[in-house]
Structure 1
Amino acid sequence: MKRTILLHPDPRLKKVCAPVTDLTDELRLLGDDMLTTMYEAPGVGLAAPQVGVLSRLIVLDCVKEEGEAPRPMIMFNPEVIASSDDLNTYEEGCLSIPEQFADVTRPAEVDVRWIDRNGKEVTDTFTKLWATCVQHEIDHLDGKLFIDYLKPLRRQMITRKMVKLKRELARG
């Protein structure tokens, strides 16, 4: 089922999410719904607070090559356990901040540990777009948006555009 994506500014996007302590069927279903929502948006990642759920859950699939098999990932309680000194800069966007993009510099490679949908602990290394995406989504779980990396003036400009967009959408 497709979920509604919250738009910035929304106080729920700035909250630190609670760890998942009990992996329920309801949470697994939420992960499936989030993948559906992300693919339809379309995007490469989505965090639970973006659909109004303040739990430590993210989904991602950074496969973009035509004809390449999708690689959907559902991660409960993801955490970066190691990151490279090497940095990468990617132009980031966010489904909660549509049509707005900015360069953000992050570690080029990260090791992430999480619980998969079967309750199994997994650790993997992410590079390139995958590394940027997983860090971006984990930031959401800590109440941080990609625009928080920008200079105040640029961040305020984007926030004003989003307030205007939300007003226009509310008018229908």
Structure 2
Amino acid sequence: MEIKIYPDEVLKKKAEKVKEFNQEIRDIVNQMFETMYKRGGLGLAGNQVGVLKRIVVIDLESGKERQGQNKIVLINPEILEMEGEQLNQEGCLSLPGLYKKVKRAAYVKVKAQNADGEDFTIEGEDLLARALQHEIDHLNGIVFIDRLSPLQKRLALQRYKKLKREYERKTKKK
């Protein structure tokens, strides 16, 4: 799958709720994991690959030998609870090379469905809480720089323009 790069319009759109749980959904989930691992990400939302469905995949294990052991699939996720605060560096596969400190809740509880449509809840702290919030934001048409102050966002976008040109040069050479 192709990762959509900011400012692609699909990143600003709200994803639709998944109503049918079938092989197509399972295939999308598998392709999203494959794409995320290939690009070295920790999470990926449907919007980021041009799929406007409320689908998120997360795997916080970035090392090749551990990939796939802690896969998290969230379909139609909703944040139920948020507590505390953390301020940490955040990046995004749709904004390659850009990292900024973003304020997030330190703990979240999320209700979702798995690829078979079964309901479950997941609780996350620290990095998992951050990943859950980041990916659910994507489903709502929000990228992490939208969480910055207007000045920080303007500076981040100036930096990102340079990074994007470098990224485009590298990907054209391949």
TM-score normalised by length of structure 2: 0.88
Output the amino acid matched with 1:53: V
> Which structure is higher in strand share?
1
Quote the Cα distance in structure 2 between the aligned partners of 1:67 and 1:20: 32
Q: Deviations over 1:137-168 (max 9, x none)?
A: 00000000100011223323433454555566
Superposition RMSD in Å = 2.1
Counterparts in 2 of 1:65 and 1:128: CA distance versus 1, 3 Å: farther
Partner of 1:75: 74
Query: Structure 1 residues 157, 72: closer, same or farther in 2, change over 3 A?
Result: same
Question: Could you give the per-residue CA deviations for residues 68-120 of structure 1, whole angstroms, max 9, x where no partner exists?
Answer: 57301111101111111x11112000000011011111111111111001221
The answer to whether the 8 Å contact 2:36/2:43 transfers is: yes
2:28 to 26, 30, 39: 30
Matches within 5 A, 1:16-27: 16-27=14-25
Structure 1 residues without counterparts, runs of 5 or longer: none
Q: TM-score by structure 1 length?
A: 0.89
Give me the identity figure in percent.
Answer: 37
* Pairwise CA distance, 1:67: 6.1
Unmatched 5+ stretches in structure 2: none
